[in-house]
Amino acid sequence: MRENQISTGRIIEGKEVFAVELTNSRGSKVKIFNYGAIVSSFVIKNAQGEDQDVVLGFDDIDGYLSEDYLANYPYLGTVIGRYANRIKDGKFSVEGQQYQLTQSLHGGTNGFDKKVWDILPTIDPSLTLQYTSPAGEENFPGNLTVQLTFKLSDEDELILDYHAVTDAATAVNLTHHTYFNLSKNGGNVGRYQQRIPASNYLEQDSEYIVTGKVLPVEGTIHDFLAGKSIGQDWDPQEGYDQTYVLDKEYKELGLASETIDPITGLKLEVFTTEPVAHFYTAKYLNVAKGKNGRDHHPFEAFCIETQHAPNSINIPEFPKTTLLPGETYLQTTIFKVTV
């Protein structure tokens, strides 16, 4: 067992849950559980030279397993799979065969976020987790093997590399649901400066399901091209829960989002090879006794979920989310924090 791999003492479905800590030359640290591939902390030096954790979570694994937390489950820091966000009516067809999923968010009632992943041998400072989803799990076809590698660079970049293969045609759309707050003591993110290099966003119906219609951001509350405060145009009761089509080539590693807290001076940049980014300002967040005993309320965090368009399995014009035998699903997303 690696020096940075610590047992939590928890066994779930016969598999041991570990916490793995990655560190870099600056003294920055990321803690990841192999349960749900959860990023539970990302500690960097702020402008005052103090350690500051920029992600929401719990001090230990028990918080992620508590009844109270699961009753109002926000996917704090988890991997999402097999399919991010929502699929219309939980139905899709692959190679002429129709499949009915549980009508649920983010991959079903027992998705990749609730699995204990295997820890593969790697060279520090990286961590590779692997999970094989059996055919029929959450009614998805095909045995799907996913590897997710985390690296922490000396530039305070948390790099996520995804790799997946299948033995039968299936639907795959993976992302990570890290909740960020760049303030020393938390609080509402409405004051943050936000830039999203996206000239278009995706129309959603009343159930937040992507319809296939691509709309220009110009003249709407969704225009973040030039940058503005998150709260400038939002409905303070709703915030943002919207998918943006990035102004870059799909598969090219490019900027998806830039967020700055004007008080702490911390900046989070997100880079991705994916075609879209879903911007969520945590309307439904309601977590008691997170790290350091702090409660988390709506709009006290934001997520940048890099992925293929939600429901694109049912929208032929969008980049495809079907994976065939012999093909490899690849995705890279980078979360970079600077002062």
Active site residues: 177, 305
CA–CA separation, 320 vs 317, rounded Å? 8
Quickly tell me which residue has 């508590």 as its tokens. Answer: 66
Distance between the two ends of the chain, CA-based, in angstroms?
35
| Phi/psi at 65 (5° precision) | -110, 0
DSSP 70: H
Query: 193 is written with which tokens?
Result: 């400066």
Tell me if 143 sits within 8 A of 43, measured CB to CB.
no
d(CA 246, CA 281) in angstroms, rounded, equals 18
Measured CA to CA, the distance from residue 173 to residue 243 in angstroms comes to: 14
Q: How far apart are CA 5 and CA 20, in angstroms?
A: 5
Q: What is the dihedral of CA 203, 208, 210, 213, to 10 degrees?
A: -20
Which are the contacts of 66, defined by CB distance < 8 A and separation ≥ 6?
Answer: none
Tokens found for residue 117: 């992943």
Q: Within 10 Å of residue 6's Cβ, how many Cβ atoms?
A: 13
Going 105 to 115 to 313 to 245, the CA torsion angle's sign is positive
